[in-house]
Amino acid sequence: MMLKKLGGTPLALAAGLLLSANVMAATFKMAVGDGEGSAQQVFGQKFADLLAEKTNKKHKAKLFVNGQLGSEQDTVNDASIGTLDFSVLASNNLAPFSPTLGILSLPYIFEDLDQAAKTVQGPIGDELTQNTIRDAGVRILGWTFSGFRVLSNSKKPVTQLADLDGMVVRVPKNEIMIDTYKSWGINPTPMAWNETFTALQQQVVDGQDTPYTTIYAMKFGEVQKYITDIHYLFLLEPLIVSEAVFQDQNKKTQAAMLEAGKEATAFSLQWLQEKEAVIKEELVSKYDMELLTLSDEAEWAKAAQSKVWPKYYKSVGGKEKINALLKSLGRDEI
């Protein structure tokens, strides 16, 4: 009787409800691994603001920082099955689900910020996005530029390769990064990101590597003394959306997500260029950290590239994929 009073058949009503659900306002959940003030959080908030603007506030995104929704790799699983909408995470934590992303973690694959930005904003980045949809059921909407991962520790100054001897270093659960440290003569300790601060505080591990922006946002200066400026891995942190969630949106909302991701990427690039030097000064003035440089980084690069790259040619798509990347950057092929 109720259906007749509404003036439609059950089938028509169901179709109408389905249509309205597809355009209904939504507040999406976004997982963010790092804390407030990090490059991840700044990027995520910019995307959320842009998405609201482009959809006339019909669609919003709420950020859950500091790994509140689980480890970064857990969020990939959740997004893949459609129980989480968005996640901002390190590319090395997405790579186990879509191995060709490992090309971004090869040691010394990028020499500077410009090379990293050109790669992910061009055809190679587009291909990695398509691979990730195919492999993991998530879509990359944009990229956070967090900076080179630098080595922090509480034990001693590190200015040359030999100084790593006897040091216990936390690394993500990523085979390329584990093998990179092995190429330098030590066995690192794989550990989830949300366990890292406590492990540093309790001196279960001596050090870790993340960008300056992350060290500051996560307050690692409270438990670390030394930072060594190394350039083995430029940290690129994609924003992913569940492909199931993306496909459930109408065309206008999909376009808004894509546009917001692209604009937030450009914003992240500018933010890093403006903020990194300031953050380095803050680490010294606020925490009295010591910033160090390497006297022999060519040795670090030679050891890592010769021992690690060949092991991962196949998984990243073949040696020709690496050469295509190098060629696009005007560098010598291998």
Task: Name the one residue in this structure whose structure tokens are 């690129």.
Answer: 236
How many distinct structural domains can be found in the chain? 2
Position 24 scores a pLDDT of 66
What is the SS3 assignment for 170? strand
- Pair 41, 64 in one domain: yes
d(CA 117, CA 110): 10
Average pLDDT (39-43) is 98
Position 25 scores a pLDDT of 78
- Pair 60, 94 in one domain: yes
- Pair 216, 321 in one domain: yes
pLDDT digits (tens, 9 = 90+) for 74-108: 999 999 999 999 999 999 999 999 999 999 999 99
In degrees and rounded to multiples of 5, residue 273 shows phi and psi of: -60, -35
d(CA 333, CA 137): 32
Residue 72 lies inside a defined structural domain of this protein: yes
Residue 12 lies inside a defined structural domain of this protein: no
Average pLDDT (224-234) is 98
What is the SS3 assignment for 5? helix
Residue 14 lies inside a defined structural domain of this protein: no
What pTM did the predictor assign? 0.91
DSSP string, 47-65: HHHHHHHHTTTSEEEEEE-
Residue 74 lies inside a defined structural domain of this protein: yes
- What domain range includes position 202? 150-233+282-328
| Amino acid sitting at position 55 | T
CATH number of the structural domain spanning residue 177 = 3.40.190.170
- Pair 48, 78 in one domain: yes
- Pair 265, 287 in one domain: no
Pairing of strands 234-242, 86-88: antiparallel
